């Protein structure tokens, strides 16, 4: 049977996972009456809630006596480490582009990786049934993008398909047809069969799977030779270390699952069970003549956060895993499969520095950990600074904002305040398309402000550009916070009296502790308040006054919004049930002493 390996790449929300659904249905992976729902590949709870793909997945379908291995990839640049790895398994890519939005920053990032690996591209222009769509202009923009990325003559001669993933049709003429078979025929026609070189076994591990029955499973593409069940193999690791091992079981992908195989030949993607202590990037090679494949390189992290144990008065109330040993083991386990993540020990035994690709990348890790029952505190995200030629350099990003024309002035003002420089300004229908170059520091906290100032209309996307000289201080949050004075339950009576001082993050009747941030102050500067005082009762009844407590609902913030909100001296307490904001030093007197020490040090400098 012939084999085709294809990865689906696109900007976030351009319809990758929906297209995979249609391919699975068109090739009758499911029974006619089987209930499957939508976005079948996004099977992780977090992916379902957020409607985004975080982990790349494999599926395989059979069409016209050919096995097509389909790899669904994430669209966010924070998960670029995932994409770079899995592209190694593909021989061609389906580049999916929205017929209205056109190529976005993420499209550029992933396409660049695919072209460098010399993969054959097929362009699919999706959502042509949407109003305001402009498929011909988008086609030209995609061609220009290929040209700017130094594509070869052969790559520039890409086939294009038009259609609607949601309605389940694609063809090369931009006319509605019955189904997606023209696209499947196109995959067979344009994507080359896997390149197979002569020689003994070589297979690079490009992703991990885990099963509670079988343990860790290595997934990768056999690049040469063949692998058999029960075969003795050599595992070649970084630094040339060779370990002897044996293949216990072999699986190939079929539909949404795996099926057992006695032998897998070069060109196919398989899962190997029975190896111990392997890492992503290791090579499974022939036991007699072990040869390693080049190690997978992944872009460097651009951001770090301090993870520590939960040391608040409410420590241990919600979580199962609360000690520094639990925290360290969990973070080290994550680095095995999350290639873009790095963990370092600090001077304190209770905290660790975690490096990642961005706020979403680190936020997903924290969210996953709290769901597993961990309690931890995390500090403010910091960008990584490098010394180049004796000068301080920081990461810069390209920021793209699409916003209705009446808000464009506000957006430009906000971005320039954060040291951004405008590169492009053009109209796309009723929307204004803006592109900026901005230090990564300037992006922290920008999204929530931008949505507030544009009535939720702005669409923001950004990607890492390069390291450039340090731009100087960037203004942080303007307002201070209100801090709880004592540890008790909040009362409606107190919150009602304090409402004009700020916007509350807690409801009446909620447990708070001294040093916890309970509201945003309307002015700069922090204020310690008592939100736990009850009303003094007397025998006199004041008619109507007891009913007049009107409390504004609390402001709810997601984990990522909290990460962008906090300042240097603050942190987030994350437990399975609660996310609380707090000062790093809870005691008021101690905080004041620490601030004095900092000021004298600054004067001394």
Res. 356 pLDDT band, cuts 50 70 90: confident
Q: Which of 566, 565, 563, 568 is nearest to 595 (CA)?
A: 568
Percentage, residues of the chain above pLDDT 70: 89
- Strands 488-489 and 511-512 come out as antiparallel
Band (pLDDT 50/70/90 cuts) for residue 298 is low
Q: Is 247 part of any known ligand binding site?
A: no
With vertex at residue 210, the alpha carbon angle to CA 209 and CA 212, rounded to the nearest 5 degrees, is 160
Q: Give the C-alpha separation, 464 to 114, whole Å.
A: 17
Is 127 annotated as contributing to ligand binding? yes
Q: At what angle do helices 105-116 and 135-148 cross, to 10 degrees?
A: 50
Does the annotation place 16 within a ligand binding site? yes
Binned at pLDDT 50, 70 and 90, residue 115 comes out as: confident
| Res 77 pLDDT > 80 | no
Res 378: pLDDT: 92
Report pLDDT for 117: 84
User: Is 546 annotated for ligand binding?
Assistant: no
CB 356 within 8 A of CB 301: yes
Domains of the chain (ranges, CATH numbers): 2-190 (3.40.50.300), 202-286 (2.40.30.10), 300-385+470-605 (3.30.70.870), 386-469 (3.30.70.240)
User: How far, in Å, CA of 586 to CA of 462, rounded?
Assistant: 36
d(CA 450, CA 468): 25
DSSP code at position 499: G
pLDDT digits (tens, 9 = 90+) for 179-212: 788 888 888 888 888 887 788 888 888 877 777 7
Cβ atoms of 521 and 481 within 8 Å: the answer is yes
User: Cβ distance 478 to 446 under 8 Å?
Assistant: no
Q: Is 290 exposed, middle or buried (0-12, 13-18, 19+ CB in 10 A)?
A: buried
The number of beta carbons lying within 10 Å of the beta carbon of residue 256 is 18
Closest CA to 101 of 145, 75, 133: 133
pLDDT of amino acid 41: 46
Tell me whether residue 128 is annotated as binding: yes
Q: What pLDDT does residue 603 have? A: 79
Alpha-carbon span 105 to 122, nearest angstrom: 19
Q: To the nearest whole number, what is the mean pLDDT of the chain?
A: 82
pTM of the model: 0.73
How far apart are alpha carbons 341 and 220 in whole angstroms? Answer: 21
Residue 63's nearest CA partner among 90, 36, 29 is 29
Residue 451 is classified by DSSP as H
pLDDT (tens digit, 9 = 90+) per residue, 488-533? 999 888 888 888 888 999 988 889 999 999 999 998 888 899 988 8
Q: Is 18 annotated as a binding residue?
A: yes
d(CA 404, CA 383): 31
Contact 280, 341 (CB under 8 A): no
Query: Is 15 annotated for ligand binding?
Result: yes
Q: Is 248 annotated as a binding residue?
A: no
Q: Please tell me whether 346 is known to bind a ligand.
A: no
392 labeled binding residue: no
């Amino acid at each position: 049977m012939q084999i085709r390996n294809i990865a689906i790449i696109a900007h976030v929300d351009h319809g990758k996972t929906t297209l995979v659904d249609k391919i699975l249905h068109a090739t009758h992976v499911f029974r006619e009456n089987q209930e499957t729902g939508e976005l079948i590949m996004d099977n992780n709870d977090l992916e379902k809630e957020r409607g985004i793909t975080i982990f790349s997945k494999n599926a395989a379908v059979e069409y016209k006596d050919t096995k097509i291995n389909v790899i669904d990839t994430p669209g966010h640049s924070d998960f670029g480490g995932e994409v770079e790895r899995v592209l190694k398994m593909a021989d061609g890519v389906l580049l999916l582009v929205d017929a209205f939005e056109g190529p976005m920053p993420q499209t550029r990032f992933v396409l660049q990786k695919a072209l460098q690996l010399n993969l054959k591209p097929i362009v699919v222009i999706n959502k042509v049934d949407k109003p305001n769509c402009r498929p011909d202009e988008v086609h030209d923009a995609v061609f220009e993008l290929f040209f700017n990325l130094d594509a070869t003559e052969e790559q520039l001669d890409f086939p294009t398909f038009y259609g609607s993933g949601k309605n389940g049709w694609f063809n090369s003429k931009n006319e509605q047809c019955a189904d997606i078979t023209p696209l499947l025929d196109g995959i067979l026609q344009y994507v080359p069969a896997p390149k197979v070189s002569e020689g003994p076994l070589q297979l690079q591990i490009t992703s991990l799977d885990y099963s509670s029955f079988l343990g860790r499973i290595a997934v990768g593409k056999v690049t040469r030779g063949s692998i058999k069940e029960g075969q003795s193999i050599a595992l070649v690791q970084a630094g040339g270390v060779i370990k002897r091992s044996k293949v216990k079981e072999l699986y190939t992908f079929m539909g949404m699952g795996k099926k057992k195989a006695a032998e897998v030949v070069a060109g196919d993607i398989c899962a190997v069970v029975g190896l111990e202590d392997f890492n992503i990037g290791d090579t499974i090679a022939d036991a007699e003549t072990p040869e390693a494949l080049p190690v997978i390189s992944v872009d460097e992290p651009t951001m770090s956060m301090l993870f520590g144990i939960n040391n608040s008065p409410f420590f241990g109330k919600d979580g199962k895993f609360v000690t520094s040993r639990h925290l360290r083991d969990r973070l080290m386990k994550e680095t095995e499969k999350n290639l873009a993540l790095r963990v370092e020990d600090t001077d304190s035994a209770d905290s660790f520095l975690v490096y990642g690709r961005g706020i979403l990348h680190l936020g997903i890790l924290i969210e996953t950990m709290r769901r597993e029952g961990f309690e931890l505190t995390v500090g403010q995200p910091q960008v990584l600074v490098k010394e180049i030629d004796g000068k301080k350099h920081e990461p810069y990003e390209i920021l793209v904002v699409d916003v209705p024309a009446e808000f464009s002035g506000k957006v430009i003002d906000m971005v320039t305040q954060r040291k951004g420089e405008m590169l492009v300004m053009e109209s796309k229908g009723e929307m204004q398309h803006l592109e900026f170059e901005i230090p990564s520091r300037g992006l922290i906290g920008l999204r929530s402000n931008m949505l507030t100032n544009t009535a939720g209309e702005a669409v923001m996307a950004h990607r890492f550009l390069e390291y450039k000289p340090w731009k100087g201080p960037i203004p942080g949050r303007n307002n201070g916070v209100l801090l709880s004075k004592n540890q008790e339950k909040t009362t409606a009576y107190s919150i009602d009296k304090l409402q004009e001082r700020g916007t509350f993050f807690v409801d009446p009747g909620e447990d708070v502790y001294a040093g916890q941030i309970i509201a945003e102050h309307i002015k700069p500067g922090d204020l310690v308040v008592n939100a736990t005082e009850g009303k003094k009762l007397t025998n006199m009844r004041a008619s109507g006054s007891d009913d007049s407590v009107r409390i504004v609902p609390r402001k709810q913030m997601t984990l990522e919004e909290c990460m962008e909100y906090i300042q240097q001296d603050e942190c987030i307490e994350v437990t399975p049930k609660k996310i609380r904001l707090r000062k790093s030093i809870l005691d008021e007197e101690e905080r004041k002493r620490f601030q004095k020490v900092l000021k004298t040090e600054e004067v001394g400098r």
